[in-house]
Amino acid sequence: MSLACAWCGPRAQEAEAQARFGAVADGVAGFVGVAAGLPLNPLLPGVGLAFKAATFQHAESLPETERPRAYALAAASWQGSAAGNACAAASVLSGGSFVPTCIAVGAAWGWKTWSDSERERRDSERCEVLRAFVGKPKLPCAFMPRGIEQAAAPAQAVVAAQDLVAP
């Protein structure tokens, strides 16, 4: 049954990678915003770093099938925040005329990131239902991180003509 979802294998770590990218982008955009003169508390990017570390710690403690949703939510929040901060920094540097638009830019980017993770979140829920149905909580799912290990390909023996023995 788990082979039916094998085509989702490359997406296994995508939500976590998107969350890590969002965390870094949000941190950099926060520091750039403070440097550009945004009216932010300069400690905010540092406090955000501690919050991000706690979020990753919590996501790792969740059951395997709940992690994609947690990572997707973090990725959407942080990438949306990064887009909004970058837009606001550019606005402040150019005179501050379009700062209110940056809120919409951040919200739109966050929504796009959330929507892009829908397939992985849905596959995670399917895996959970499949495991409950068959009564095997550890059933490997090909699309989940660490869900299924690829078996090593059998070694093919090379036979040379001189190795053959006549009957």
* Closest CA relative to residue 146, chosen from 3, 1, 13: 13
CB atoms within 10 A of CB 137: 11
pLDDT 10s digits, 83-117: 998 898 888 888 877 878 988 999 999 999 988 88
- What pLDDT does residue 41 have? 74
Question: How far is residue 155's CA from residue 133's CA, in Å, rounded to a whole number?
Answer: 36
| Whether the predicted pLDDT of 31 surpasses 70 | yes
Q: What are the pLDDT digits (tens) for 107-149?
A: 999 999 988 888 888 887 888 888 888 888 777 776 555 444 4
Output the pLDDT for position 72.
92
CA dihedral for 133, 137, 142, 144, sign (positive or negative) = positive
Which has more pLDDT, 102 or 3? Answer: 102
> Would you say residue 159 has pLDDT above 70?
no
